[in-house]
């Protein structure tokens, strides 16, 4: 595609260079630039792309787009086009969408946002809605086309490239996990969404967003800016009205977007549970969907998964999926990697991604409802390094409150000292001890995660419930700046083998 065509309808100023050149690709990482590429210089968290313009040109970039107000030295560059714009993040998203011919226009596109539940809902929707692909935390997938990317919401170029590929392969529906980072960093700008789901909101990523209000506003932007900017007809929002932020959001969504609501028990919602039965083997739910009453049975356990099922069913119904297909989709086991996953069928050992205070507390509260009088809940978890420190003590307190025995270990310590992270968690555990919720004999500190998991599994009797929390589907640990292979699921299987 010619550069002059790519930058049509874009606000820019050409510093110098030609626009009749052929563009072969777009990158915001100088290391990935190839011959004929555009390099878009973006200010990142740890580095500034403007510092790597020379590297991008060396690797083949023939056009550089930079941000107004950033001083750059263009001396020494020849036959390179330099273009100045106000916001390189937004321009990067625009160019990526245009370069891949706006593939979202050819799809029914649904975004899922909220603190918890995004991944599970994406798996359920993928099961219910035919010809569906997913872009999310675990991977990007459609049929045999599977790509593992670093971010829950990938960079705009990766999103559009993947969507273009799967549209050619027959994909008609795409489900995207819309993280607060992805929304705030404009990775989803210029995508044509049909609808969005809001699950819930609780403190998370406050190291980035600074406070809960900014975190909410990032989620809010999906429904008040991205969805309204879509050219699709019949746009809709599916919102959890049991969540206080969901109720706030309803009043802020523009009038031209149809709002549908879900709740566990609130009969004013468009879908709610008439009644339900929880068990360690699965869940039975009698559902009221616009006064249509039907029953589903699922292997997914816990009240939080009833919420996930309700959001998925309502969204599918809005997309004209009939109730019979919805019921059928739940009949076979739905396996969500690292979400209350049972690596061993006949043991109540669960591996879960819960890495926020709200997620950990909800899962442990649910497991407490499911255990029998003789069984104990044994929990092992840690917190990630170089991330929001404020949640560590909160998670320590919740884990102590809802566990009969607790082992505190490492997660992804990154460049922090593991014992320092554990000390932050222990502040919450010690609070629970002071309040006589647990005693000092009810927990252990084992920094090595492998040893911590082994101890919990050795300690557990047949009826006990073991929760290994924090990493879920991840098959690595980041220690220092080194990424090492490590899987909670593999450790459990190896122990029982």
**Cβ–Cβ < 8 Å for 387, 487:** no
SS (H, E, C) 327-350: HHHCCCCCCCCCCCECCCCCCCEE
Task: Please give the structure tokens belonging to residue 466.
Answer: 């073991």
Nearest to 153 by CA among 123, 189, 125: 189
Please report which confidence band the pLDDT of residue 396 belongs to, taking 50, 70 and 90 as the band edges. very high
**CA 139/CA 154 separation, integer angstroms:** 10
Segment 239-269, tens digit of pLDDT? 999 999 999 999 999 999 999 999 999 999 9
The confidence band for 132, taking pLDDT boundaries of 50, 70 and 90, is very high
For the domain made up of 100-329, give the CATH fold. 3.40.1190
pLDDT band per the 50, 70, 90 thresholds, residue 209: confident
pLDDT per residue as tens digits for the range 310-345: 999 999 999 999 999 999 999 989 999 999 999 999
Q: What is the DSSP string of 99-117?
A: HTT-GGGGSEEEEEESSSS
Average pLDDT, stretch 108-121?
97
Would the pLDDT of 204 be above 90? no
Residues 349-496: name the CATH superfamily: Mur ligase, C-terminal domain (3.90.190.20)
Residue pair 108/53 in contact (Cβ under 8 Å)? The answer is no
Q: Which of 252, 236, 151 is nearest to 193 (CA)?
A: 236
Q: Using alpha carbons, select from 401, 422, 419, 406 the residue that is nearest to residue 456.
A: 406
Q: What is the pLDDT of residue 210?
A: 78
* pLDDT tens-place string over residues 374-390: 999 999 999 999 999 99
| pLDDT tens, position by position, 430-468 | 999 999 999 999 999 999 999 999 999 999 998 999 999
Q: Predicted confidence band at 74 (pLDDT cuts at 50, 70, 90)?
A: confident
Tens of pLDDT, residues 478-491: 999 999 999 999 99
| Backbone Cα Rg of the chain | 24
pTM: 0.94
**Which of 100, 67, 60 lies closest to 82 in space, CA to CA?**
67
Note whether 447 and 410 are within 8 A (CB). yes
* Residue 492 clears pLDDT 90, i.e. is over it: yes
Contact 55, 30 (CB under 8 A): yes
How do the domains of the chain map onto residue ranges? 3-91, 100-329, 349-496
Reported as a pLDDT band with limits 50, 70 and 90, residue 424 is very high
CATH number of the 3-91 domain: 3.40.1390.10
How far apart are the C-alpha atoms of 146 and 65, rounded to whole Å?
31
Burial 340-364 (b: 16+ CB within 10 A, else e): bbbbeeebbbbbbbbbbbbbbbbbb
**What's the pLDDT score for residue 244?**
97
Which pLDDT does position 150 carry in this prediction? 79
Mean pLDDT, residues 178-194 taken together: 96
Look at residue 395 and tell me whether its pLDDT is greater than 90: yes
Residue that is written with structure tokens 């926020």 in the block: 356
Supply 192's token pair: 């044509």
Instruction: Band the pLDDT of 276: cuts 50, 70, 90.
Output: very high
Question: In Å, what is the CA distance from 229 to each residue of 7, 180, 225, 226?
Answer: 20, 18, 6, 5
Length of the chain: 497
Give the residue among 354, 440, 441 at the shortest CA–CA distance from 398: 354
Token pair for 401: 């409150």
Whether residue 206 has pLDDT greater than 90: no
């Amino acid at each position: 595609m010619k550069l002059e065509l790519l930058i049509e309808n874009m606000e820019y100023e050409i510093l110098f260079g030609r626009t009749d050149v052929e563009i072969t690709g777009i990158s915001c990482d100088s290391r990935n630039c190839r011959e004929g590429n555009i390099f878009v210089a973006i200010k990142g968290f740890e580095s500034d792309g403007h510092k790597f313009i020379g590297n991008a040109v060396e690797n083949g970039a023939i056009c550089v787009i930079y941000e107004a107000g950033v001083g750059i030295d263009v001396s020494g560059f020849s036959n390179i086009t330099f273009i100045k714009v106000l916001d390189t993040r937004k321009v990067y998203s625009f160019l990526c969408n245009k370069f891949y011919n706006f593939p979202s226009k050819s799809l029914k596109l649904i975004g899922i946002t909220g603190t918890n539940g995004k991944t599970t809902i994406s798996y359920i929707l993928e099961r219910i809605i035919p010809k569906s692909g997913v872009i999310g935390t675990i991977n990007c997938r459609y049929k045999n086309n599977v790509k593992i990317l670093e971010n829950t919401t990938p960079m705009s170029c990766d999103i559009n490239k993947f969507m273009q590929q799967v549209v050619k392969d027959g994909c008609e529906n795409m489900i995207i996990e819309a993280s607060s980072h992805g929304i705030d960093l404009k990775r989803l700008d210029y995508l044509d969404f049909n609808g969005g789901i809001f699950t819930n909101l609780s403190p998370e990523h406050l190291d980035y967003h600074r406070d809960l209000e900014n975190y909410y506003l990032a989620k809010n932007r999906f429904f008040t800016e991205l969805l309204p900017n879509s050219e699709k007809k019949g746009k809709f929002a599916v919102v959890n009205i049991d969540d206080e932020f969901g109720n706030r959001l309803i009043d802020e969504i523009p009038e031209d977007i149809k709002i549908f609501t879900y709740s566990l028990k609130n009969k004013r919602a468009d879908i709610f549970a008439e009644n339900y039965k929880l068990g360690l083997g699965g869940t039975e739910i009698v559902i009221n969907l616009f006064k249509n009453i039907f029953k589903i049975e699922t292997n997914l356990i816990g009240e939080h998964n009833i919420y996930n099922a309700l959001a998925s069913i309502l969204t599918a119904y809005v997309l004209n999926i009939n109730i019979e297909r919805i019921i059928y989709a739940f009949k076979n086991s739905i396996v969500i990697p690292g979400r209350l996953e049972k690596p061993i069928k006949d043991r109540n050992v669960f591996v879960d991604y819960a890495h926020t205070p709200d997620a950990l507390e909800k899962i442990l509260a649910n497991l407490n409802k499911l255990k029998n009088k003789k069984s104990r809940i044994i929990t092992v978890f840690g917190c990630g390094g170089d991330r929001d420190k404020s949640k560590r003590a909160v998670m320590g307190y919740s884990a102590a409150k809802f566990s009969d025995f607790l082992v505190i270990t490492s997660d992804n310590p990154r460049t922090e000292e593991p014992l320092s992270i554990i000390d932050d968690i222990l502040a919450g555990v010690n609070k629970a001890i002071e309040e006589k919720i647990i005693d000092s004999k009810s927990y252990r500190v084992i920094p090595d995660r492998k040893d911590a998991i082994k101890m919990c599994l050795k300690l557990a009797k047949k009826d006990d419930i073991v929760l290994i929390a924090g990493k879920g589907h991840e098959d690595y640990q980041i220690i220092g700046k080194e990424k090492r292979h490590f899987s909670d699921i593999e450790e459990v299987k190896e122990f029982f083998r």
